[in-house]
Structure 1
């Protein structure tokens, strides 16, 4: 396997064009560009990170359109995910907007979500997560995820951590956009640094959910 050399400009251009012409004919005409400039660098990047973080899933480029109103057939980004618990782990993505890193839990069964909320509700573990997230905000991470508009059932609206309790998923992201480093081998070190920063939150979540369905 080739060593990671960065994401070429051709990868960003490919997704720029795909957003304009998301059709099978475009895909077939540019399949080799995707293979060489998008998928191959992502596979090489995740292989470089594997000794420390584990094996990544490099996602397929095809959208599941069976129940979607949007019937365009291809994803307009290429993502990869390293899981340490169900739907919990580290993420990296390349698209027309450049490269983004992230982590957290992206979805949860009712049982797993209840376990996370119970830990947020508990004074010691809830404050621990708050401190971790405050530190990451100061480091430039954005906090996202799917949230309820109202309080979750069983919790008071004036709970000191009600905003965290509203989360049905909890993710952190950092945009690297078009920074020159994304085109170089050194970007593997950038992703490694990012994922290390997220490790305490990822492990906090995994510790509450990795034994649950």
Structure 2
């Protein structure tokens, strides 16, 4: 990602969060069109600047489309009430009226990844190492959470497996949220994000080594 390399990231103005407050109250094309220039320059623009600065360490970034997929949803609101971005080297960023959030890890594994993940967790060496990674990160104040967790043991694994809680997860990530604060409008926002992403690298490395990318 090469855009805006000559512009340094200085955070988001408070109005960027107010933009999403307004969108939450009036999720319409009329509101979106009226505020489109503001979105491009004061919401999406700073994210592009941030991704460009993060690229050398965390890889190219991509901003997700602002439009919701409403084909199979009862909620037909056309626009997302947050700005999301993905980092190729691992990481997810999100700005909304609630503030800033960041995550890292494997949010959703396909069937091949899930099979490799469970085999690794069940292995005493790899599974034991994952427990150590989670414990070490917890000491540093970074929690690891599972997502889309099964209510019981996955097929082929005993319910009394010593790492059954991990085996039940279909995704494993770190996640943090920061409430709106003055530092969001400064370069300190990047400092916090970098610190969090670096802190999540042990989990990312375990997943890369033991699970790997999605199946072709």
**TM-score normalised by L of structure 1:** 0.93
| Matched residue, 2:30 | 25
Deviations 1:75-105, CA, capped at 9 Å, x for gaps: 1111111134xxxx21111001100111111
Q: Which stretch shows the higher mean deviation, 132-141 or 97-106?
A: 132-141
| Matched residue, 1:209 | 212
Taking the aligned partners of 2:94 and 2:197, their CA distance within structure 1 comes to 13
| Matched residue, 2:44 | 39
Asked whether the 8 Å contact 1:176–1:182 carries over to 2, the reply is no
Shift of 1:211: 7.2
Taking the aligned partners of 1:125 and 1:16, their CA distance within structure 2 comes to 44
Q: Structure 1: 5+ residue runs without aligned partners?
A: none
Asked whether the 8 Å contact 2:110–2:214 carries over to 1, the reply is no
| Matched residue, 2:16 | 11
Asked whether the 8 Å contact 1:102–1:171 carries over to 2, the reply is yes
Taking the aligned partners of 2:214 and 2:83, their CA distance within structure 1 comes to 29
Q: Secondary structure at the match of 1:16?
A: helix
| Matched residue, 1:188 | 190
| Matched residue, 2:115 | 114
Shift of 1:204: 1.2
| Matched residue, 2:72 | 67
Deviations 1:19-78, CA, capped at 9 Å, x for gaps: 111111110111112111210011111111101110011111011111111111111111
**TM-score normalised by L of structure 2:** 0.91
May I ask how many residue pairs the two structures share in their alignment? 209
